Amino acid sequence: MSTLGEAQAHVSRAWLGNVAVAALLVAIAAALWRLQDGGWWIATPGQDRWMAAGALLLGYAGFCGWIAWRSRPRHRPSLAVGDAQARVLVAYASQTGFAQQLAERTADLLVTAGITVDLRSLAQLDANILSRCEQALFVVSTTGEGDPPDAALAFVRDTLGVSMPLASLRYGLLALGDREYAHFCGFGHALDSWLRRNGATALFDLIEVDNGDAGSLRHWQHHLGLLADAPDLPDWQAPSYTAWRLAERTHLNPGSAGGACFHLSLAPSDGALPAWEAGDIAEIGPRNTPAAVDIFLASSGHHGNTMVAFDGGHHSLADALARSGLPTVGNARNLTAQALADTLQPLPHREYSIASLPGDGAIHLLLRQMRRPDGSLGLGSGWLTTTAAVGDTVALRIRSNPGFHAPADDRPLILIGNGTGLAGLRALLKARIAEGRHRNWLLFGERSRAHDLHYGDDLALWQAQGWLERCDYAFSRDQPERRYVQHLLVDHAPALQAWLAEGAAVHVCGSLAGMAPAVDAELARLVGRETLERMAAEGCYRRDVY
């Protein structure tokens, strides 16, 4: 049912309820009228009828007011709808109402994080609004073979075909579609291309959603949490994790000028290894540190060993708190253990590129420790690299990421990345080697060759065996001037153009801040923006950046 249809049906049901209640009140009034001589009314004979009528009218008016309140549109008073100074514009184009629902949930999440939001449909946008906007999030659906929703047709006619200066706009885009159609998420891709052509900068790569896929929606919320600087906001729908065991953890870069990086190996606790492809993502359920839980328990007066119902099972209160956002101590003091558990929201997942294949017998991750402004370790990286002991259970789920899978054919593959982005590139190289495809070229950047060439032995062996036809590095701290991976594209421009002329695909993995936009700009300079967009549309230019 459309949003309008749902609203009309809701109003109709409300008025039918009013009529039914009015009839009931009239029936009660008639009954009381007949019983007044039996002592039901404390009034004189001249007053009783007016008192009865007045009471019934007041009761009915109050009930109608309650119905009107229940039936009101759910406006969000904290949303600065129509405010040109709003920090984030959230715009949607919806055919069935799903895109609008997701846009509203997006707005709610940002408001919860303290961000002012301007929520609109695309039908309410024009060139004037967009040209003054600095940050925007778009949630758009596609109908039929790549067509925009009906409500967005005026925007497409009046705005989408017009050139305008959008260099100050930073945006994110969630595209809804159905892979059964040839032009999957076609309108979303068209909007994304138009924004880029007019100078707008993507906050993160377009996220495609196939038939409401929950994993893609969690990925969108992951980016929202980063945008709002609120990574601990609860997931809309918590993933169904399975139990894995932390089998190995190795510090890869002792002495590095950068954050500590670790290689992790995780094996399923039940021994049943699921399938995944190179490019897929591990979603990890983090935990609060035991020290943080103990402080909360001591402050709130609760005992950690008290058993409570939580997340579909029975757990100690300490375990439930470890897996949840810790509530305020003041509220918790007045609750029973079970009532406290009922208020808990599971911690949001963390996402990491998988660096291995099922043939390796385990999921390999490459993690850098992240630190908060106060110097404490980030929740996800702190849990996996320090708090969890080898042998401990880790909550994990695999999310398919088809937008970063390896080419299905034998075309050359250019792999570009920096830092822990090598994880996703390593899995792609392993997949290519397993398929017997050797036309692979890695361009990788880090701080120091002596400390930060992660998996250097693997790379050297693959190059010696001919599986890596070319391998080039940029180590930013190994010479007086800073050199990054994008500088390698300039140094080797003729060879890059030759590989691209042969139909090479390009996969980029690593930092969205700095590396990814710099690499994108150099690639566009080498081959032209239109060619790069065509490559992206054909699946030959793919990114997993964060």
pLDDT (mean) for 407-433:
97
**Is 81's pLDDT higher than 70?**
no
- Classify burial at 136, counting beta carbons within 10 Å of its beta carbon; exposed 0-12, middle 13-18, buried 19 or more: buried
pLDDT at 492: 97
pLDDT at 86: 56
pLDDT at 323: 94
Between CA 429 and CA 422 the distance in angstroms is: 10
pLDDT (mean) for 179-203:
89
Distances (CA, A) of 301 to 333, 336, 341: 6, 10, 14
The overall average pLDDT reported for the chain is 84
pTM given for the model: 0.74
**Is 448's pLDDT higher than 90?**
yes
pLDDT at 8: 31
User: How far is Cα of residue 84 from the mean position of the Cα atoms in its chain?
Assistant: 26
Between CA 256 and CA 513 the distance in angstroms is: 20
Which pLDDT tens digit goes with each residue over 381-408?
999 999 999 999 999 999 988 889 999 9
Name the packing angle between helices 3-35 and 48-71 (round to 10°). 160
* DSSP one-letter code for 235: P
Token couple for 76? 């969000």
Closest CA to 307 of 264, 267, 341, 347: 341
Between CA 387 and CA 264 the distance in angstroms is: 13
**Residue carrying the six token digits 């630190």:** 371
8 Å CB contact between 362 and 266: yes
Q: What share of the chain is helix, strand, coil (3-state, %, to 5)?
A: 40, 20, 35
Token couple for 446? 């880090």
- Residues in contact with 243: Cβ distance below 8 Å, sequence separation at least 6, in sequence order: 268, 269, 270, 393, 394, 395, 396
Which pLDDT tens digit goes with each residue over 144-171?
778 898 889 889 988 988 899 999 999 9
**Is 302's pLDDT higher than 70?**
yes
Between CA 303 and CA 358 the distance in angstroms is: 42
pLDDT at 263: 98
Name the E strands within 68-162: 88-93, 117-121, 135-141
Closest CA to 313 of 235, 245, 241: 241
pLDDT (mean) for 288-315:
94
Token couple for 451? 């400390």
pLDDT (mean) for 292-312:
95
Which pLDDT tens digit goes with each residue over 1-20?
223 233 333 333 333 344 34
Distances (CA, A) of 418 to 72, 343, 453, 508, 545: 51, 41, 10, 9, 10
Greater model confidence, 194 or 13: 194
8 Å CB contact between 282 and 354: yes
Which pLDDT tens digit goes with each residue over 532-543?
888 987 889 999
Which run of H or of E encompasses 27? helix 3-35
pLDDT at 534: 87
**Is 85's pLDDT higher than 80?**
no
Closest CA to 541 of 438, 212, 528: 528
| Listed range (220-224, 235-239, 292-296) with the worst mean pLDDT | 235-239
| Listed range (53-57, 136-140, 410-414, 533-537) with the worst mean pLDDT | 53-57
Between CA 221 and CA 216 the distance in angstroms is: 9
Task: Pick from 336-350, 420-434, 510-524 the range whose average pLDDT is largest.
Answer: 420-434
Which pLDDT tens digit goes with each residue over 248-292?
999 999 999 999 999 999 999 999 999 999 999 999 999 999 999
Distances (CA, A) of 193 to 17, 171, 377, 479, 540: 49, 12, 38, 38, 16
- Residues in contact with 229: Cβ distance below 8 Å, sequence separation at least 6, in sequence order: 113
Distances (CA, A) of 111 to 103, 117, 447: 12, 7, 38
Instruction: Give percent of the chain with pLDDT exceeding 90.
Output: 62
